[in-house]
Structure 1
Amino acid sequence: MKHTRRTWVGTALICLLVPGACANADDAAEHRTLEVIATHPHDPGAFTQGLEIDGTVLYEGTGMVGQSDVRSIDRASGAELARVELPPPFFGEGITLAGDTLWQLTWQEGVAFARDPHTLAEKQRVPYRGEGWGLCHQEGRLVMSDGSATLTFRDPVTFAVTGSIALTSHTDTRLNELECAEDGSVYANAWPTDQILRIDPDTGRVLSVIDAAELLPADQRAGTDVLNGIAQIPGTDRFLITGKYWPTTFEVRFVPA
C-alpha cells in the first residue's frame, strides 16, 4: 500500500490531539460480508487447516494427531490426485506453495515439512520455534501465523525468519489460516470466531473485517468445528472457504456489509 507523507502527518496529529483515537483505529476497518457464488462438496472428515489453489489443483492440509494429512484434488472433477498422511505425534497445520515446494506446518512439534507439490513426497524437514498455525506465500517471502496477533515472515527456500509485524488493532486476535491475496493483502481466519480479517502485512493494519457467521446453516453445524480454510481463486475476486469437518466448501466474494 502507498501512503503519502501528508496522510501520515495527519494521522500523527490526530493521535496527539485526540486521546485514544489511535487505540481505536480498528473502528476504521471496513466491514464486509459474503456473497455465495457456488458451493462444492467437502470431506466432512477433514479437520481443515489450510487451503491452497495452484491452477487446476486444490491443496488441503488437515489436522489432529493420527488423522493429519495433506492432499491434492483436481478442482474440476473433485478427484483426489495424491495424499500423504502425517504419522503421530505430528498435528498438521497450514500449507502453502512456494515455487517447487509445498510447505506444511505442524502445530506444536516445531517442524515444517517441505514437499514435492506433485507427489506430496517429503523432501526436507526444517525445525522452527513456537507454534505453527497458518501459512501463505507472497513474492519473496512466506507469511506465518502462530495463534497470536503477529505475522512472521520467513524465507521461502530456507524457512529462516526474516521479520515480523504485529496487528495495530484487534490485538487480542488469534490469527489462524492465512491466504496471501493477489492484491498484496493477507486474509486470516480469526480463531475461534466466524470472522476473517484482511490485513496489510507491511503495516499490520486491519483493512477489513468479514463476517461469515451465516455461511454454514445452523442445521448443518452439528459435528462441525470452526471456520478455517481460505484460498483465492487465481485471477478472480472469488475465494474458496470452508471449516473443520464442514460438509461444504463455499465459493464467495467479499462484499460491503
Structure 2
Amino acid sequence: MHSFRPALLLMLCLATLAWTTPVRAETPVIPCKVLAAYPHNPGTFTQGLFFHDGVFYESSGGYGRSFLAMMDPASGHPLKTETVAPELFAEGIAPSGENLRMLTWKSGIGQVYTLKGLMPVHPFAYRATAATTEGWGLASDGKRFIMSTGKSRLEWHDAKTFDKTGELSVTDDGQPVHWLNELEFVGEWLYANIWKSDRVAIIDVTDGKVQAWLDLSPLRERLSRGCGVANGIAYDAAGKRLYVTGKNWDQLFEIEIPKLR
C-alpha cells in the first residue's frame, strides 16, 4: 500500500494545480458589422487608404500602372489622379501636415505629395542605403509615422525627416504576427491588414500585442466575384467612422468600430 502513496500525492498536486492555474483566454475575434456601403473602383489594386477633409486618398499598386487618387466618398469617382513612374510600385500612404507620404515596394524610396492637388514635392528614402527593407503600409499618429515591411516588425519614423527612430514587434499570444500590411490609427489602437487574409489585427502600440482580431469575411457575400484580399483601412476621426475596402473591390464599407474597453 505504501508504494501507491507518492503516486496518489502527485495526482492530487496536479489536480490542485489545474484548479488554481487560470486558463489563458484566446484573442477575441470580432465579426464586422456593416453600417453603410459605397461604390469603389474595382480597377484599384488598393495599397493605402486614408480619409481627410471629406475625401478618400488611395494608392493603387503595380509596375507600370500605379497611381494616387483623391476619391469622392459618395460616388467612388476620382476627383484627382496622379500617375506614378512606371518603374515604381506604389504602396502605403499617410498624411502629414499639408502633404502626404507614399511608400513604394522595393525601391527604398517614397514620394511626398501635396494634399491639395496631389502635386509631387520631393522623394525621400525610407531605408538605409545597404538595407533591403520593403515599404508596405504606412500610418501616422500625428507625431510620427509607423511603417510595415511585410513582416512581424513595424518601424517608427520621424514625422519630418522620416529617419527611423525605433521598432515594434507585433505578437498574438506570444507568437509573431507576420504579413502586416496596410495600417491605420483608430483612436488609441493601430489597425493592420494581414496580407492574404480577411482579418485585421487591432494592436496596442505600447507593447505590440494584438488585442483583438476584426473579421472582414462577412463582407464577401456583398462583393462581386474576382475581388481580391482585404486591404485598406480609413478612419474619420472627427466623425468617428471606420471604413474598409480591398484590392479590386467594387465596394467600400463603413463598419462599426469594435469596442475593446
Q: TM-score, normalised by structure 1?
A: 0.84
Q: Which residue of 2 aligns with 1:177?
A: 182
| Higher Cα Rg, which structure | 2
| Structure 1 pair 76–193 and aligned structure 2 pair: CA distance change class (3 A) | closer
Structure 1 unaligned spans of 5+: 1-16
Q: Which residue of 2 aligns with 1:250?
A: 253
Give 1:102-181 correspondences, 5 Å limit: 102-129=100-127, 130-169=133-172, 170-181=175-186
| Structure 1 pair 218–117 and aligned structure 2 pair: CA distance change class (3 A) | closer
% identical aligned pairs: 35
| Structure 1 pair 92–215 and aligned structure 2 pair: CA distance change class (3 A) | same
Displacement after TM superposition at 1:236 (Å): 3.9
Does the 8 A contact of 2:64 with 2:86 survive in 1? yes
Displacement after TM superposition at 1:180 (Å): 1.2
1:214 aligns with one of 218, 224, 232? 218
Report the aligned-residue RMSD.
2.3
Counterpart of 1:162 in structure 2: which amino acid? T
Does the 8 A contact of 1:72 with 1:83 survive in 2? yes
Q: Matches of 1:231 and 1:205 in 2, distance apart?
A: 21
1:85 aligns with one of 65, 83, 86? 83
Counterpart of 2:181 in structure 1: which amino acid? N
Instruction: Determine whether 1:189 maps to 2:193.
Output: yes
Q: Matches of 1:134 and 1:87 in 2, distance apart?
A: 19
Q: TM-score, normalised by structure 2?
A: 0.83
SS in 2 for 1:131: coil
Counterpart of 1:189 in structure 2: which amino acid? N
| Structure 1 pair 43–78 and aligned structure 2 pair: CA distance change class (3 A) | closer
Displacement after TM superposition at 1:163 (Å): 0.7
Displacement after TM superposition at 1:77 (Å): 5.2
Q: Which residue of 2 aligns with 1:98?
A: 96
2:232 aligns with one of 229, 233, 242? 229
Q: Which residue of 2 aligns with 1:69?
A: 67
